Structure 1
Amino acid sequence: NLFPALDDDERDQLVLRLVLATSVQSGRLHLKSSPFALRWLSRFSTCIRPLSPIYYRFCDEVIWLNKVPVTLGQGFGFLSDEIEKLSLVITDHQKIVDHDIEKIGVFSDKWQCIYAAVTPSEASAFRVVLSGRKLLWASRLCPQKRPELLPKIIAAARERIPDLHICVFGSIENVVSYERLFDANGLSYSGPFNQFEDVNPHEYDALLYTSAFDGLPNIILEAMSCELPVIAPDVGGIAEAIQDGETGFLVKNYGDEDQLVKAYVDAILRLYADPDRTRAIANTAKELINSRHNVGAHRKIVRQLFIDKE
Structure 2
Amino acid sequence: MSQAAIPTEVTQLVTPAKTDVPVKLAKVVHVINGEHYSGAERVQDLLGKCLPQFGYEASFVCVKPGKFAEARAADQCPIFDLPMRHRFDLWQAKNLADRVKEEQFSVIHAHTPRTAMLAMGASYLTGVPFVYHVHSPTSRDSTRPWQNWVNQKIEQTAIAKASQLVCVSNSLAGHMRSLGVGDNRLSIVHNGVPQWTEVPERELPSGTWTLGTVALFRPRKGLEVLLDAMADLQERGHLIRLRAVGPFETPEYEATILERVRQLKLEDAIDWVGFTRDVNAQFSQMDLFVLPSLFGEGLPMVVLESMAAGTPVVATDVEGVTEAITDGQSGIIAKPNDAQHLAQRIEAVLTGREDWRQIRTTALARHAEYFSDVAMARGVAGVYDQILDK
Query: The TM-score by the shorter chain falls in which range?
Result: 0.7 to 0.9
| Bigger mean CA deviation after superposition, 23-32 or 51-60 | 23-32
SS of the residue aligned with 2:375? helix
Residue 263 of structure 1 aligns with an amino acid whose one-letter code is H
- Provide the rounded CA distance (Å) in 2 between the counterparts of 1:70 and 1:247: 37
CA RMSD of aligned residues (A): 3.3
Change (3 A) 1:154 1:85: same
TM-score relative to the length of structure 1? 0.82
CA contact (8 A) 2:131 2:162 kept: yes
2:106 matches 1:27: yes
- Of 198, 205, 220, which residue of structure 1 is paired with 2:287? 205
Q: Compute the displacement of 1:33 (Å).
A: 1.0
2:362 matches 1:284: yes
Matches within 5 A, 1:195-274: 195-199=278-282, 201-212=283-294, 213-253=296-336, 257=337, 260-274=338-352
Q: Compute the displacement of 1:29 (Å).
A: 1.4
Change (3 A) 1:98 1:8: closer
Q: Which residue of 2 aligns with 1:55?
A: 132
- Provide the rounded CA distance (Å) in 2 between the counterparts of 1:278 and 1:135: 13
| Bigger mean CA deviation after superposition, 72-81 or 129-138 | 72-81
Q: Compute the displacement of 1:224 (Å).
A: 0.5
Q: Compute the displacement of 1:189 (Å).
A: 1.4
- Provide the rounded CA distance (Å) in 2 between the counterparts of 1:10 and 1:211: 30
SS of the residue aligned with 2:205? coil
| Bigger mean CA deviation after superposition, 271-280 or 164-173 | 271-280
Residue 16 of structure 1 aligns with an amino acid whose one-letter code is A
CA contact (8 A) 2:131 2:166 kept: yes
- Provide the rounded CA distance (Å) in 2 between the counterparts of 1:240 and 1:299: 18
Change (3 A) 1:276 1:150: closer
SS of the residue aligned with 1:264? helix
2:115 matches 1:115: no
SS of the residue aligned with 2:242? strand
Q: Compute the displacement of 1:244 (Å).
A: 0.8
Q: Compute the displacement of 1:296 (Å).
A: 4.2
TM-score relative to the length of structure 2? 0.67
Q: Compute the displacement of 1:77 (Å).
A: 4.0
- Of 147, 152, 156, which residue of structure 1 is paired with 2:228? 152
CA contact (8 A) 1:128 1:275 kept: no
CA contact (8 A) 2:123 2:129 kept: no
SS of the residue aligned with 1:141? coil
Q: Compute the displacement of 1:294 (Å).
A: 2.8
C-alpha deviations, 1:15-73, integer Å up to 9, x for none?
A: 12212222237622111114x3255467x3773472211111111253679xxx99945
- Provide the rounded CA distance (Å) in 1 between the counterparts of 2:292 and 2:201: 20
CA contact (8 A) 1:233 1:252 kept: yes
- Provide the rounded CA distance (Å) in 2 between the counterparts of 1:142 and 1:251: 20
CA contact (8 A) 1:90 1:113 kept: yes
- Provide the rounded CA distance (Å) in 1 between the counterparts of 2:107 and 2:349: 46
CA contact (8 A) 1:151 1:187 kept: no
CA contact (8 A) 1:135 1:165 kept: yes
CA contact (8 A) 2:111 2:132 kept: yes
CA contact (8 A) 1:60 1:72 kept: no
C-alpha deviations, 1:272-310, integer Å up to 9, x for none?
A: 222772211121111111100234433432332224733
Q: Which has the higher contact order (CA 8 A, sep 6+)?
A: 2
CA contact (8 A) 1:232 1:249 kept: yes
Q: Which residue of 1 aligns with 2:81?
A: none
Q: Compute the displacement of 1:176 (Å).
A: 3.2
Residue 215 of structure 1 aligns with an amino acid whose one-letter code is G
Residue 330 of structure 2 aligns with an amino acid whose one-letter code is T
CA contact (8 A) 1:80 1:104 kept: no
Matches within 5 A, 1:76-115: 76-78=152-154, 80-104=156-180, 106=182, 108-115=183-190
How many pairs are equivalent? 296
SS of the residue aligned with 2:314? strand
CA contact (8 A) 2:169 2:320 kept: yes
- Provide the rounded CA distance (Å) in 2 between the counterparts of 1:305 and 1:214: 22
CA contact (8 A) 2:307 2:367 kept: yes
Change (3 A) 1:32 1:161: same
- Provide the rounded CA distance (Å) in 2 between the counterparts of 1:125 and 1:230: 17
Change (3 A) 1:268 1:71: farther
CA contact (8 A) 2:194 2:374 kept: no
